[in-house]
Structures are given as structure tokens and as C-alpha cells.
DNA sequence: GAGTGGTCTAGACCACCCT
DNA sequence: GGGTGGTCTAGACCACTCT
């Protein structure tokens, strides 16, 4: 019987799944920061006592989930999430020519407080948990077009409210400063009439139809790490989804 | 040199890609209708003169694209698109509890005519091409909530305008009657104010914010087979997207 | 040229389904 | 019990990258 440096739980899970979990743990644990080259497949296979094919299957899965990037002839690297890349990946607004809208962000207001019932529900927090709230306007060609209200569990992002400035893309800050890797988002989209507050912030008439985007963001281990409510006034632009 | 009954084009494309193309062609060509069991992996491998592992990789890809379904111990089957399944897969509206909304459909109006410039652009049709236009209301719990205007190239769906009744789910009709397999959709979502026409059809006040969903549907070979413009009045429901 | 990922093969054993 | 897909191994050759 070979000894494995994998999950001690030998029941059920196939080998490649345990290899995948092992590699993922070392990435999220910070052993291999973004941009690092992983050991070669053969070396990982030797280290873990499995065949190269099994390592390959695990790395294929991590590649599909965009945790890792493979470069033929060079190596396998922990996916690097540059600010531009993160915007590109999670900002779903496109203009009429099909090009992605790349928004700017105005200085934000940041505060902290005890989570409301709605915030606790959306972020699956315990009663009494505290949150960081960020409010900002996004602009496009110099004009306000999107109002963001972002809520984060304070326990996951201690000190974030002390930042001098909130960057245009929060998600790479999450990764670089807090080691929290954004994995996926779920968005609920509806059409709403502009309230007085939104009308003023987006410079439209009250009652103007706006797109409301309610987003929950998950990290690689499945934790809810952000709740974001955006209201957008889209002129010659649209929300895009592929199914 | 082994002789392959695969694509004669030997350059570039890996073997498994040619196996995949071969199997896909036999499915879309009607040799294996939906629900049919494919030959076993070993048998396909023998027939095509490749190893089982290569066939497996091809079938894995077709499984990921939902062209085929695998049942351990039983076999690999051409994906069967029941009406309920098609609704489930391509209808993106969910209620507040997270359950998918399953709409009903009222009798539709069907007509044909020469494609307008917009219709030609969205469906990539030649000048002079003819289209079938379907207009219908979808209901939810007995109340109108969505107005659909559907445009199809007549060349792909001859005689569809003569149907006695338009089914609630068109997509499985496409597959069963015309052998056209829906592969994916692209949707552009915006918020608009209800026009007089939409207000009357959806029983809301003019100016009410509606969700406008502009969808182009592609078949397995990448052809555009449908353009659909839906306007929805969503109460306690939302459009859902996972990214 | 050495090292990496990408493809392909051949064969083994297992878990599961069907009859 | 026989057939199927699911997993795993070992080894080969290729295409690419780096230096």
C-alpha cells in the first residue's frame, strides 16, 4: 500500500479530486501566490505518489475553473488577476458594438456598522456580525451611469475601511491584500424606476427605468464574500449573458 | 500508416477533435436521433482506429457541451431535449425563493414576410431573405408578464407558419421536426419604459419599467437560428445569471 | 538541448446497470 | 454475469518555450 500525502479521507473521492483539493489548498493557503509556477506535472506526480495522468486531470479541472493557467512548453501558473483582467471577467456591460464597457470609478464613501437583516441573509452572516459598506458612482466617458452599494463582511476584510482610496476594481485587492480569491458571482437582474436618490446621483429624471443588478460573490472555497447592489442607466449599452 | 475514417484533413487538429467532429456530424446528420445510445467507447475506438482514451476525451467534450449524456454502467446517449428540459435550460427567470419560473404561453400570431434590415443583421441573412414572425404573450399564474416577438429564417423552418398551434417551447420542436439542435443563446438585457402597445398587452401603466431581453440563438454548427425580443414585467422575480 | 505541457496508446481494475 | 462508463497507470512521442 502506497502512502499518500493527500486527504486522509480515503473513502469515495477519486484520486484526481484529492490531488485537485491538495493543489487548491496550497494556492488558497498562500504557498503559491498568483503568478507562481507550479511544480511540473511529473514532479507533482512523484511528490504525491500518483501518475502524471492523474495530476493532469486535476490540473485540467483547475484550468477550467480559471484557478490556474497552462502555458505549453513553459509551465502551469497560478492565475494572475490583474485589475484589468478582473474588470474584464466580472463586468457584464457591453456597448452597442459589442465591446465591453470599461468604467471609471469616483471616490467612494466607506463606513462600517452592524449588518442589517437583509445583509445578513445575502451574506449568510450571524446575528451581530459587522460589515463594511462602500458607496460609489461609476462613470463612463465622464458621465455617471452606475450607482454601486457594496457590502463586505468585516471579519474577512479587517482594515479595509481604513484604506486611503477604494480602487476601481476591488477584486484584485481582495486577492493581493487578503488572499481571498474571487471564484464566481451570481446576479439577479430586474428593471426598476429611478428613486429620487438614484435620479439625483445618476442625473436622470425620477422614474427613469434603470437596470438593478443584485450580485453575490463567492470565493474559491464557496464562502460569500460580497453583496453588491448596482443601479445602471444604460444608454446604447446592455447587460450581456451567454447561456 | 493507419487509415482513418475521420476528417481527411490531417493537418493541425488533434485526433480527439476529429473524433468529436465525426460523432457530432453523425448526431446532427440524424444518424443518431435524440435518446439513441451511442456505440460503446471500445466499439467506437475500434471503428475509428483510435484508442479508447481518445474516444473518451472526445465524448467528455460533447458531454460538457450537453450534446450527449453519459450513464455509468449503461451507455452514452444523444441528449434528449424534452420540452420541460428546454424551458429549464434556456428560461432565465427565477422567483424570489430562487425557484425557476415556468411560464405558460397563450395562442400566438404567426406571419411571414421579407426580413427587415434589423432582422437581417441579427440573423445574418442575405437581402431578400424571408422570415417567420411569431408574437405571443407568456403568462404566470394566469397573468400576462412577458411579451415575445420571435423571428426565424424561413429557409431553416419551412412550413412552421402552417402549424396549427405554436408550442410553449419552440426549441424541442426545432430539434424533433427540423433536426436543428439548439446549442446556446446570447442575451442583451436592458431596462425600458413600457410603450403604449406593451402596456396594453402586459396590463401595466405606460412608462412602467420593463426588462427587455434581446436573444440570438445558435445551433450546434454555429448558425443563427432565432432572434427573439422579450419584454417582461417581473414582480417578485428576476433575471438570473451566473458568471 | 533541456524541460515543459499536449496528445495518444495499451492495458488494468473498479462501480454501476441491466437482465 | 456480461457490458458499460469511471479511474488510474506507465510509457511514448510531439510541439512549444526558454536560454
CATH of the domain at B125: 3.40.1410.10
Indicate whether A110 and A24 sit together in one domain. Answer: no
Q: Please tell me the distance in Å from A14's CA to the nearest CA on chain B.
A: 15
B53 to chain A: nearest residue by CA? A53
pLDDT of residue B240: 95
Indicate whether B74 and B93 sit together in one domain. Answer: no
Indicate whether A226 and A153 sit together in one domain. Answer: yes
For the whole model, what pTM was predicted? 0.84
Indicate whether A24 and A102 sit together in one domain. Answer: no
Indicate whether B145 and B211 sit together in one domain. Answer: yes
Residue B1 lies in a domain: no
CATH of the domain at B39: 1.10.10.10
Indicate whether B60 and B108 sit together in one domain. Answer: no
pLDDT of residue B208: 94
Q: Which domain holds residue B140?
A: 83-239
Residue B4 lies in a domain: no
Residue ranges in chain B modelled with pLDDT below 70 = 1-11
Closest residue to C9 (CA, C1′): B51
d(CA A178, CA A157): 7
**Residue-level pLDDT, tens digit, chain A, 243 residues:** 333 456 555 557 889 999 999 999 999 888 898 889 999 999 999 999 999 999 999 999 999 998 999 999 999 999 888 888 888 889 999 998 888 998 888 888 899 999 999 999 999 999 889 999 999 999 988 889 999 999 999 999 998 888 777 788 888 888 888 888 888 999 999 999 999 999 999 999 999 999 999 999 999 888 999 999 999 999 889 999 988
Domain end among B78, B102, B118: B78
B185 to chain A: nearest residue by CA? A243
Indicate whether B103 and B190 sit together in one domain. Answer: yes
DSSP string of B183-236? EEEEEEEEEEEPPHHHHHHHT--TT-EEEEEEEEEEETTS-EEEEEEEEE--SS
Indicate whether B160 and B223 sit together in one domain. Answer: yes
Identify the residue whose cell numbers are 441573412: B125
Count: domains in chain A:
2
Indicate whether B154 and B46 sit together in one domain. Answer: no
pLDDT of residue B11: 58
Indicate whether A184 and A125 sit together in one domain. Answer: yes
Indicate whether B146 and B111 sit together in one domain. Answer: yes
CA of A98 to C1' of D13 (A): 43
Indicate whether B70 and B163 sit together in one domain. Answer: no
pLDDT digits (tens, 9 = 90+) for A161-208: 887 777 888 888 888 888 888 889 999 999 999 999 999 999 999 999
d(CA A240, CA A242): 7
Residue B219 lies in a domain: yes
Amino acid at each position: 500500500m502506497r502512502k499518500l500525502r493527500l486527504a486522509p479521507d480515503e473513502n469515495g473521492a477519486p484520486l484526481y479530486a484529492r490531488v485537485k483539493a491538495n493543489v487548491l489548498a496550497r494556492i488558497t493557503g498562500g504557498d503559491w501566490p498568483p503568478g507562481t509556477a507550479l511544480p511540473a506535472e511529473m514532479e507533482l506526480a512523484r511528490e504525491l505518489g500518483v501518475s502524471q495522468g492523474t495530476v493532469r486531470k486535476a490540473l485540467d479541472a483547475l484550468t477550467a475553473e480559471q484557478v490556474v493557467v497552462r502555458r505549453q512548453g513553459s509551465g502551469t501558473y497560478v492565475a494572475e488577476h490583474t485589475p484589468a483582467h478582473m474588470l474584464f471577467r466580472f463586468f457584464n456591460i457591453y456597448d452597442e458594438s459589442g465591446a465591453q464597457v470599461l468604467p471609471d470609478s469616483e471616490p467612494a464613501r466607506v463606513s462600517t456598522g452592524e449588518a442589517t437583516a437583509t445583509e445578513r441573509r445575502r451574506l449568510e452572516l450571524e446575528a451581530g456580525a459587522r460589515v463594511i459598506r462602500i458607496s460609489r458612482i461609476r462613470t463612463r466617458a465622464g458621465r455617471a451611469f452606475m450607482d454601486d452599494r457594496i457590502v463586505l463582511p468585516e471579519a474577512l476584510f479587517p482594515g479595509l475601511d481604513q484604506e486611503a482610496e477604494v480602487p476601481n476594481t476591488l477584486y484584485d485587492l481582495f486577492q493581493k491584500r487578503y488572499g481571498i480569491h474571487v471564484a464566481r458571482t451570481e446576479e439577479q437582474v430586474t428593471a426598476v424606476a429611478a428613486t429620487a436618490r438614484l435620479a439625483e446621483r445618476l442625473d436622470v429624471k425620477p422614474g427613469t427605468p434603470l437596470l438593478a443588478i443584485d450580485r453575490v460573490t463567492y470565493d474559491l472555497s464557496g464562502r460569500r464574500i460580497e453583496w453588491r447592489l448596482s443601479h445602471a442607466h444604460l444608454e446604447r449599452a446592455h447587460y450581456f449573458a451567454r447561456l
